[in-house]
Structure 1
């Protein structure tokens, strides 16, 4: 079988997804290609129509289409429906089925990096309330954590995510100041905003003066490889989790959906790290 996978987004040409998925194809000795469809908003409908005619086996969706693409799908996985966004589409029996692997990709990255961490015993803080936070929030709630709080610059936006919580975990919305003041209560802190991303790589949401010793601080940004937030976390005695892991593991989950195989991502993570450090 000769697979055809791809990515739709705008902008999208900078994406590392072709490199990642080519590695997965090679690892599984599968034949195929991964193509980027960089599509402006006015061209979305036509591009998706062309992709359907090509019978693309599966594709990823990035900004700004993770919500808009749902209108064009035949079915949506219940988890993706709950999250309210799709980042992975599978062609099955002529139908497009939407999934979301973002949040679960983050959790897999966390568990692979810190395998002895029992999430059911932990309290987490999410920084940000956008699409990435939404997916990670839903995935963390699946792990039956004790508490998952959400901090955002505008507290109302954080409050809007709370109805996603149908688990036994406690959840509340916080301002950035409230989160900063109460940081010592959290075992895991996850930065999900674009604050600190290249070229504005000297910025951070707030200081980590009260971070718990030994806590895990994660940043989903992967350019720069180590954000100023992660640098500060390391200096304060916290454990850190780089953003490239989420990118690789959400891609791995998508690839597994498309092909029915299980990929090993650990070696690819090391290669990706070297590439990012080189950039």
Structure 2
């Protein structure tokens, strides 16, 4: 995993080999906090495991999954841009991942690799404290893998979901498969979710919508977590909106990932503290 265009580890393991090897595949890999969350959970739970980040270009995805089998990797988190493509490489697909049409988790069980989606669990657990949501209106920005998990969770909460995306055809396909309807940002909403990468480092000055399109008193949920306070959330607060950053979603989906392979669930508050501590040193947040 060292040649150009192949999966390459972002960090090296300088200690005795652990019993279980886990990690994350994404491209590019610089923005991920997942190793910090998972290692904190392993330490708290007493799990003999290590978690590494691998920068995997789209052309190397098939080889990376083959490497997972060959090396006996227990679990791989799957991030951008692989969440939809990875479904074709798994032996089995969970009902949730099948319906969502995207996976953020590959878990090895014996000689099989199972694709699952815990992103929707992360969305659900993040929004539940702000509820109840049944019968209320949600607008989702984006139509990719993350947006599909968001829509699945919002429908699970009983919300009336509207999807808007720069490519209307992709939004139409999403709602045809998961429910909801295609619309515009100008329609009323109680919840606005940014499920695009706009605002993610290094594009910290980008926002998926103009400040004038933010509706006061609505909850604005940005799934981007780095930076923690995005331009979208800053402008939302100034407009009198409630805000929710993307870190809780990341934490809760990680908790579910760890439960899938280990049978144990770490304390979400512990993982949140570990991530907050790591972000304190991020100069892009100051």
What TM-score comes out, normalization by structure 1 length?
A: 0.87
Cα shift readout 1:181-213 (whole Å, capped 9, x = no counterpart): 32xx31111011122222222222223436444
Cα shift readout 1:151-193 (whole Å, capped 9, x = no counterpart): 1223332222111235xxxx2212xxx31x32xx311110111
Partner of residue 161 from structure 2, selected from 125, 129, 148: 148
Partner residue of 2:143?
129
Q: How does 1:18-167 map to 2 (within 5 A)?
A: 18-111=35-128, 115-145=129-159, 147-165=160-178
Displacement of 1:116 in angstroms is 5.0
Displacement of 1:135 in angstroms is 1.2
Residue 237 in structure 1 maps to residue 254 in structure 2 = no
Q: What is the rounded CA distance, in whole Å, between the counterparts of 1:53 and 1:201 in structure 2? A: 39
Partner residue of 2:182?
173
Go from structure 1 to structure 2 and tell me whether the alpha carbon gap of 1:53 and 1:200 turns closer, same or farther (over 3 Å shift): closer
Secondary structure of the corresponding residue to residue 234 of structure 1: helix
Q: What is the rounded CA distance, in whole Å, between the counterparts of 1:65 and 1:53 in structure 2? A: 20
Partner residue of 2:7?
none
What TM-score comes out, normalization by structure 2 length?
A: 0.85
Secondary structure of the corresponding residue to residue 161 of structure 1: helix
For the 8 Å contact 1:66–1:86, the answer to whether it is kept is yes
Q: What is the rounded CA distance, in whole Å, between the counterparts of 1:41 and 1:172 in structure 2? A: 30
Cα shift readout 1:198-230 (whole Å, capped 9, x = no counterpart): 222222222343644432101111222211111
Q: Give aligned pairs, total.
A: 265
For the 8 Å contact 1:225–1:277, the answer to whether it is kept is no
Q: What is the rounded CA distance, in whole Å, between the counterparts of 2:83 and 2:163 in structure 1? A: 21
For the 8 Å contact 1:24–1:263, the answer to whether it is kept is yes
Unmatched runs of 5 consecutive residues or more in structure 2: 1-17
Partner of residue 186 from structure 1, selected from 189, 197, 207: 189
Go from structure 1 to structure 2 and tell me whether the alpha carbon gap of 1:90 and 1:41 turns closer, same or farther (over 3 Å shift): same
Between 2-11 and 22-31, the greater mean CA deviation after superposition: 2-11
Cα shift readout 1:78-102 (whole Å, capped 9, x = no counterpart): 1101111111011223211110111
